[in-house]
């Protein structure tokens, strides 16, 4: 018979049920309780870190109740769910976001105050969860916030890296140094270890084909995947989704045979190699590396996640053909593409589903988002490496390819070139598997992350596939950002002003960001403009305070704050910015002190990490720092131009920079930045945008009006032609762009430290100029001149700033996640009562 639930006396269970701590006195009680028990500390020796931990644990208890309700509702109602597979989640801090989403920040502030601490100090004790490189990882984090807030059943899956993105230090000579990020060295109050959720993951070994296209994969190394759950609270709802992170562990503690033989090193070798899998996040953004450990990470993560998804599906007792009715799996970039052959392996080898039926299931379950068109970022794995590490998966990939190539041949008979172009296997030494192609053919739909990017996909990387599958397989979902973190949390002053002005509850516009349009009627109102300006000024002072405590310098907060923060990459053209600054410096030097007084003082902030092996990107950091040193010390100009490089850029540092900008720069070569997402954050906070006609900049312009954006530079269709010219009809830089040539010559001549150091960087511009600095420099300088002119008329400027914010509604990640839910995954909101 059925087991009775709950066991024992139901009323005793009911008696013990806890409800959330929502009033100040239950909150303080719960904090004190955690101090005493979870931390086993006392009031008399409690520091800020301890107080933060106890408070975070109390917030976690509140989230857990909602989490449990949510998971129970999912289990009972069995909705179709979406799974977001992303190898990075750049979460930042959790505590502040959690109490805001729970709607308990005021209560926590009051409680903390009563206990003799300051809430902001405690918030600052939390370390960032920096399990990501940049845009891709932060996008995943925003999407989780939106999925909970929109009450959508979505789970994230990723890896629990012991070390997140490296900590960036800057040496006295301007070199970037990397230090580990041991973010787990203190208690992490927000994760729940699930020792009962474990899977065995195999590597290496042999695959023997049997009958009916099946095979048996055996031998090799087996590693355990252990689940850790992170709760994702929605804003203004009980719905609390889950981010499940896998940790690798040895299957057996150590090798007993070697241990008994006295060979202790040998005994722990296997366990060390198992633990290595989830030890560190790869610090490369938009490049591939081809390392075996990276491939191991990808397989370990996708295999554990699929095992978990399939176990959950099997508990529903439905035929496998129903999998696409219960699960949509989003492949975020090609990093989880092995999930495609892995699901084929599970279905065909383990569940004995016929190959064609299995393929039908697979291609209705997966969805694929591409995040870049840069050729160096397109993942390919060497066939010999795959064969060694995942012998069965390689067989499956070959089988998928054979069938696919045959169907292409059928549709385009005799078109040999086309077959070679579209094959999953790229010929060469060694042969390589093209992961993007595998993701395309194995998915229901494919999308890019902004209109221009999706169009470029359709006409370049996916061109042959559009011709084969038809255009409707290839869509677009423009990225978005969560207004909870990127406005309410990071800019409380602006959030309060907006709420007061719109005369609606905060929760209304934060969940329906188009409501910001209500600000438009005040855009000209001098009283409102004044308040708007005061908020910006306060944020600039908050940033200045941070800079003073980290760099020890005082900043003129009356100056225009000009910000470029993002990963260091040639295509993002931080070089254009620093060369422009040098040009501005020379111009300032060449005019009289009286003329200088009429110029608009400017403070330029840079921040961002360079991949440790990216030599040119590291040189750019060095150049910025040495230029800053010279300019900041020059008595003729220091009042008018200051440059700072803030070390160790992170989500938390972004939360200080974004609300404080007057302008921000998004100046990639046209056609290279798939979308960009910080552009949205700055605009949402009333910072104006200086940018190229690229990625989501274009759609921002469409929304807020091109007259409110400082666009410059060549357009995407011109880029290819210009590059061709540069290669086959090069024109000397002195002729092409004398102003830039002068800047480069002065750097060479040693104006900013040993000129020789920078030659490799300067030569990338003098020869080839792949990213077209010589083509865009003049129009960039002209755009910045327009910025200066516009800033002189503060009332007009404020109107632009207000209008920009008011028209950013489209870029909420709520809109984006609803797009995915409706157009791709076919999942529906499920409200947790």
Catalytic residues: 371, 566-567, 572, 677, 681
Among residues 94 and 447, whose Cβ is nearest to ligand NBX? 447
Among 706, 723, 764, which residue's Cα sits nearest to residue 576?
764
Judge contact between 733 and 739, C-beta under 8 A.
Answer: no
d(CA 203, CA 220): 6
Closest residue to ligand NBX, based on beta-carbon distance = 135
Among residues 55 and 677, whose Cβ is nearest to ligand NBX? 677
> Measured on CA atoms in the order 632, 633, 634, 637, is the torsion positive or negative?
positive
To ligand NBX, the closest distance from the beta carbon of 375 in angstroms equals 13
To ligand NBX, the closest distance from the beta carbon of 454 in angstroms equals 11
Instruction: Kindly compute the dihedral angle of the four CA atoms of residues 783, 699, 696, 523, in this order, to the nearest 10 degrees.
Output: 60
Helix (H) or strand (E) holding 204: none
To ligand NBX, the closest distance from the beta carbon of 815 in angstroms equals 15
To ligand NBX, the closest distance from the beta carbon of 692 in angstroms equals 12
Judge contact between 673 and 689, C-beta under 8 A.
Answer: no
d(CA 689, CA 666): 7
Cis-peptide into 232, omega within 30 deg: no
To ligand NBX, the closest distance from the beta carbon of 289 in angstroms equals 7
Structure tokens at 335: 């990093």
Among residues 166 and 532, whose Cβ is nearest to ligand NBX? 166
Among 412, 328, 458, which residue's Cα sits nearest to residue 823?
328
Q: What is the DSSP letter of 567?
A: -
Judge contact between 246 and 278, C-beta under 8 A.
Answer: yes
What phi and psi, each to the nearest 5 degrees, are found at residue 155? -115, 145
d(CA 354, CA 416): 30
To ligand NBX, the closest distance from the beta carbon of 136 in angstroms equals 3
Judge contact between 805 and 686, C-beta under 8 A.
Answer: yes
CA distances from 734 to 360, 383, 737, 748, 778 (A): 59, 47, 6, 14, 13
Among residues 62 and 176, whose Cβ is nearest to ligand NBX? 176
Give residues with Cβ within 8 angstroms of 591, minimum separation 6.
none
To ligand NBX, the closest distance from the beta carbon of 476 in angstroms equals 12
Among residues 286 and 803, whose Cβ is nearest to ligand NBX? 286
CA 380 to chain centre: 22
d(CA 687, CA 804): 8
To ligand NBX, the closest distance from the beta carbon of 179 in angstroms equals 20
Among residues 134 and 234, whose Cβ is nearest to ligand NBX? 134
Helix (H) or strand (E) holding 85: strand 81-85
Structure tokens at 212: 């009916």
Q: Which residues bind ligand NBX (CB under 6 A)?
A: 133-136, 139, 284-286, 288, 371-372, 377, 449, 479, 673-677, 695
To ligand NBX, the closest distance from the beta carbon of 394 in angstroms equals 21
To ligand NBX, the closest distance from the beta carbon of 715 in angstroms equals 18
Structure tokens at 1: 């018979």
Phi-psi region of 631 (alpha: psi -120 to 50; beta: other; left: phi over 0): alpha
Helix (H, G, I), strand (E, B) or coil at 460: coil
d(CA 668, CA 662): 20
Among residues 111 and 135, whose Cβ is nearest to ligand NBX? 135
Among 743, 769, 747, which residue's Cα sits nearest to residue 758?
747
Phi-psi region of 601 (alpha: psi -120 to 50; beta: other; left: phi over 0): beta
To ligand NBX, the closest distance from the beta carbon of 352 in angstroms equals 35
Give residues with Cβ within 8 angstroms of 802, minimum separation 6.
519, 520, 522, 523, 528, 529, 532, 686
Among residues 207 and 286, whose Cβ is nearest to ligand NBX? 286
Judge contact between 98 and 63, C-beta under 8 A.
Answer: yes
Among residues 239 and 330, whose Cβ is nearest to ligand NBX? 330
Among residues 588 and 696, whose Cβ is nearest to ligand NBX? 696
Among residues 107 and 678, whose Cβ is nearest to ligand NBX? 678
Give residues with Cβ within 8 angstroms of 337, minimum separation 6.
298, 331, 368, 379, 435, 436, 438, 439, 442
Among residues 376 and 417, whose Cβ is nearest to ligand NBX? 376
d(CA 767, CA 452): 28
Helix (H, G, I), strand (E, B) or coil at 590: helix
Helix (H, G, I), strand (E, B) or coil at 247: strand
Strand 154-159 to strand 81-85: parallel, antiparallel, or no bridges (unpaired)?
parallel
To ligand NBX, the closest distance from the beta carbon of 282 in angstroms equals 7
Other C-beta atoms closer than 10 Å to the C-beta of 787 total 19
């Amino acid at each position: 018979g059925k087991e009775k639930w709950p066991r024992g006396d139901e009323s005793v269970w009911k008696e013990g049920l806890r409800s959330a701590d929502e009033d100040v006195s239950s909150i303080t009680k719960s904090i004190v309780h955690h101090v005493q028990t979870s931390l086993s500390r006392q009031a008399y020796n409690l520091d800020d870190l301890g107080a933060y931990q106890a408070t975070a644990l109390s917030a976690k208890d509140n989230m857990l109740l909602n989490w449990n309700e949510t998971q129970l509702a999912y289990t009972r109602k069995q909705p179709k769910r979406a799974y977001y597979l992303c190898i990075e989640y750049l979460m930042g801090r959790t505590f502040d976001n959690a109490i805001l989403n729970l709607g308990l920040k005021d209560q926590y502030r009051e409680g903390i105050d009563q206990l003799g601490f300051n809430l902001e100090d405690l918030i600052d004790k939390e370390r960032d969860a920096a399990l990501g490189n940049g845009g891709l990882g932060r996008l995943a984090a925003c999407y989780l916030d939106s999925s909970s807030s929109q009450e959508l059943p979505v789970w994230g899956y990723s890896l629990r890296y012991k070390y997140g993105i490296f900590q960036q230090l800057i040496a006295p000579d301007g070199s970037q140094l990397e230090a580990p990020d041991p973010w787990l060295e203190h208690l992490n109050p927000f994760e729940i270890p699930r020792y009962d959720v474990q899977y065995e993951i195999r590597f290496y070994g042999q695959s023997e084909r049997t009958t009916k296209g099946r095979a048996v994969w055996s031998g090799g190394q087996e590693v355990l995947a252990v689940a850790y759950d992170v709760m994702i609270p929605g804003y203004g709802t009980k719905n609390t989704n889950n981010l499940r992170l896998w940790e690798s562990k040895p299957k057996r503690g150590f090798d007993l045979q070697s241990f008994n033989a006295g060979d202790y090193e040998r005994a722990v070798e296997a366990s060390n190699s198992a633990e290595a899998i989830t030890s560190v996040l790869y610090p490369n953004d938009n490049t591939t590396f081809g390392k075996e450990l990276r491939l191991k990470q990808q397989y370990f993560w996708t295999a554990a996640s699929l095992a978990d998804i399939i176990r959950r599906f099997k508990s529903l007792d439905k035929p496998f053909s129903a999998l696409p009715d219960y699960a949509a799996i989003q492949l975020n970039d090609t990093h989880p593409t092995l999930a495609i052959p892995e699901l084929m392996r599970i279905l065909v080898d383990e569940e004995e589903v016929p190959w064609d039926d299995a393929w039908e299931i697979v291609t209705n379950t997966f969805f694929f988002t591409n995040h870049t068109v840069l050729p160096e970022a397109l993942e390919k794995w060497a066939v010999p490496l795959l064969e060694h590490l995942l012998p069965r998966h390689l067989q499956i990939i070959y089988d998928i390819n054979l069938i696919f190539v045959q169907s292409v041949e059928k549709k385009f008979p005799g078109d040999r070139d086309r077959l070679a172009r579209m094959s999953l296997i790229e010929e060469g030494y060694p042969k390589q598997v093209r992961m993007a192609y595998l993701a395309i053919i194995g998915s229901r739909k494919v999308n890019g992350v902004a209109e221009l990017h999706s169009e470029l996909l359709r006409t370049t990387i996916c061109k042959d596939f559009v011709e084969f599958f038809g255009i409707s397989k290839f869509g677009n979902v423009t990225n978005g950002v969560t207004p909870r973190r990127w406005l309410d949390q990071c800019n409380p002053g602006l959030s309060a002003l907006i709420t007061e002005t719109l005369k609606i509850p905060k929760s209304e516009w934060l969940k329906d960001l188009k409501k910001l349009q209500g600000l438009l009627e005040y855009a000209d109102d001098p009283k409102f403009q004044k308040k708007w300006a005061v908020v910006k000024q306060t944020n600039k002072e908050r940033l200045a305070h941070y800079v003073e405590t980290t760099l020890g310098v005082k900043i003129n907060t009356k100056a225009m704050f000009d910000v470029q923060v993002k990963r260091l990459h040639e295509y993002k053209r931080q070089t254009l910015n620093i060369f422009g600054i040098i040009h501005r410096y020379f111009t300032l030097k060449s005019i009289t002190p009286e003329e200088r007084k009429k110029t608009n003082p400017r403070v330029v902030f840079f921040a961002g990490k360079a991949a440790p092996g990216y030599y040119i990107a590291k040189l750019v950091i060095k150049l910025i720092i040495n230029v800053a040193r010279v300019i900041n010390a020059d008595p003729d100009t220091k009042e008018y131009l200051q440059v700072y490089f803030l070390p160790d850029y992170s989500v938390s540092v972004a939360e200080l920079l974004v609300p404080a900008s007057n302008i921000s720069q998004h100046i990639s070569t046209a056609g290279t930045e798939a979308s960009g997402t910080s552009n949205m954050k700055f605009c949402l906070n009333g910072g104006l945008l200086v940018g190229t006609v690229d990625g989501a900049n274009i759609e921002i312009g469409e929304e807020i009006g091109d007259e409110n954006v400082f666009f410059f530079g060549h357009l995407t269709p011109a880029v290819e032609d210009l590059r061709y010219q540069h290669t086959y009809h090069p024109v000397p830089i002195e002729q092409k762009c004398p102003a830039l040539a002068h800047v480069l010559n002065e750097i060479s001549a040693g104006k900013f430290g040993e000129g020789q150091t920078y030659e490799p960087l300067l030569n990338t511009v003098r020869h080839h100029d792949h990213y077209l600095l010589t083509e865009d420099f003049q129009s960039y300088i002209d755009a910045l001149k327009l910025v200066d002119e516009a800033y002189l008329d503060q009332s007009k400027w404020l109107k632009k700033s207000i209008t920009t914010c008011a028209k950013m509604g489209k870029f909420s990640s709520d809109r984006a996640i609803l797009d995915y839910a409706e157009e791709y995954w076919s999942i529906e909101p499920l409200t947790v009562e």
